[in-house]
Amino acid sequence: MEFEEAGRSSGISRRRVARLGLGAGLGAAAGALAGCGTSGGEKESRPPAGPARHPERPAKKKALPQLIGDGSTSYTGRQPKQPPAPTALEPGQTPPQFVVFSWDGAGEVGNGLFPRFLELARQHDARMTFFLSGLYLLPEAQKRRYQPPGNPVGASDIGYLSDPHLKETLRSVHQAWLDGHEIGTHFNGHFCGGAGSVANWSPKQWRSEIEQARTFVKSWRTHTGWHDQPALPFDYDKELIGGRTPCLLGQENLLPVARELGWRYDASSPGGLQRWPDKRHGIWDLPLQGIPFPGHGFEVLSMDYNILANQSQNSTRAPAHNYPGWRTQATQAYLTGFQRAYETNRAPFFIGNHFEEWNGGIYMDAVEEALKRIADKAGSGDVRLVSFRQFVDWLDAQDPAVLDRLRSLQVGERPAGGWNRYLRGSKSPATPGTTSRTGAPGQTAH
């Protein structure tokens, strides 16, 4: 499998390459109860008989939000706009079609894309996962606070944000969590090549990277000096339960650390298939997937940059006359991938994106159109646009035997005899539908 690092082959500057993303968090801080008591040594006085003249007042709960640490984050209660607690499928019940739109960026750089997709999600009652880079909350003036494993102090293969863009990112991340979205992590410096690549990091180095990312999110007030800015409305340590590595590299040494930290999933696998997921090292493995690529005999990973790499050979500013056809092709790739899963094995469908205007912004238009078309089917109740967190909540509520049964379905395979028969324990093999294998040309990761 080939992996291409965006920016180096395309000739664009590091500061404008893939505004990638890292995680943040929801939190818990116990509310103190106020009370009063009698001083010791005094004889207890008894109230007169009959109704109490001064009934005891209920203790007051501590007002929310409750600031955490330096006030960069806070506990504001249960996250709004969450679905009811998931339940196990009934015997023979058709599984929902889950769709997760995720963003390896979560940095607002003045192009309005973060607010644009927050509004789109509100219009269609969709939830997403935003992978926030810790560096996007660290001012460039403070860059020496970052000690990237295997790289010089302060180094990064993505640019630090300007102060105005850092403030815009804070506002967008704040609103995203209040809208019910998940804040995951894309770590920090996005190192994909050379000796310092994340592909070569040890578990100890991954732990250092994660701890630094958490610190940058939890201490942005200290690092910026902006004490008049509102706190993020979540406890980062509680919110962060998964992430996606730069260029989909380094997962093997990351997973043991993720498990020790209590993470519940990782979305870093490259070249996954549209099948029901399993766990690795006790962590749900939720890969980007191969999907049909219209007009080609191979499949492409379900991410905007991978489609770009196959259309314009990594150029982010290809001749504009290509844009209409490429936009249509990208949209159809997403919709065909969705339809294949929806009509056959109902495997969850994962789509990765970046807040970038590559090739005239056609990939943003494509994913917006795909979301709208998929959301049209969500009204039936059997299509759910969720975050990764919400999806693993559902997985953890299921009977393991049912999940094993779902995992036995291959790409494009329909359950023999229909879902009712298949999930009631029938041992009949799945009926093949349209199947295809991911081909090497589509395997560029970013």
**Mind listing the pLDDT tens digit for each residue in 65-80?**
999 999 999 999 999 9
Give Dmax over CA atoms of the chain in angstroms: 92
Domains of the chain: 14-27+64-75+95-442 (3.20.20.370)
Are the CB atoms for 231 and 73 separated by under 8 Å?
Answer: yes
Taking only the tens of pLDDT, the chain with its 446 residues reads 333 333 333 333 333 333 333 333 323 332 222 233 333 333 334 444 444 444 455 555 666 899 999 999 999 999 999 999 999 999 999 999 999 999 998 999 999 999 999 999 999 999 999 999 999 999 999 999 999 999 999 999 999 999 999 999 999 999 999 999 999 999 999 999 999 999 999 999 999 999 999 999 999 999 999 999 999 999 999 999 999 999 999 999 999 999 999 999 999 998 899 999 999 999 999 999 999 999 999 999 999 999 999 999 999 999 999 999 999 999 999 999 999 999 999 999 999 999 999 999 999 999 999 999 999 998 888 999 999 999 999 999 999 999 999 999 999 999 999 999 999 964 444 444 444 444 445 566 67
User: Cα 446 vs. chain centroid, distance in angstroms?
Assistant: 15
Are the CB atoms for 275 and 411 separated by under 8 Å?
Answer: yes
Are the CB atoms for 209 and 149 separated by under 8 Å?
Answer: yes
Are the CB atoms for 239 and 23 separated by under 8 Å?
Answer: yes
pTM exceeding the 0.75 threshold for the entire prediction: yes
Q: How far apart are CA 209 and CA 200, in angstroms?
A: 13
Nearest residue to 240 via CA among 255, 260, 262: 262
Residue with token string 């944000």: 161
Q: What six digits make up the tokens of 88?
A: 């196990």
Alpha-carbon distances of 275 from 272, 340, 342, 345, rounded to whole Å: 8, 11, 12, 7
Are the CB atoms for 190 and 132 separated by under 8 Å?
Answer: no
What DSSP character marks residue 86? P
Q: How far apart are CA 154 and CA 82, in angstroms?
A: 38
What DSSP character marks residue 119? H
Torsion of CA 256, 258, 259, 262, to 10 degrees: 160
Q: How far apart are CA 319 and CA 277, in angstroms?
A: 39
Helix (H, G, I), strand (E, B) or coil at 351: strand
Report, in this order, helix, strand and coil percent for the chain, each rounded to 5: 35, 10, 50
pLDDT of residue 38: 31
Are the CB atoms for 79 and 27 separated by under 8 Å?
Answer: no
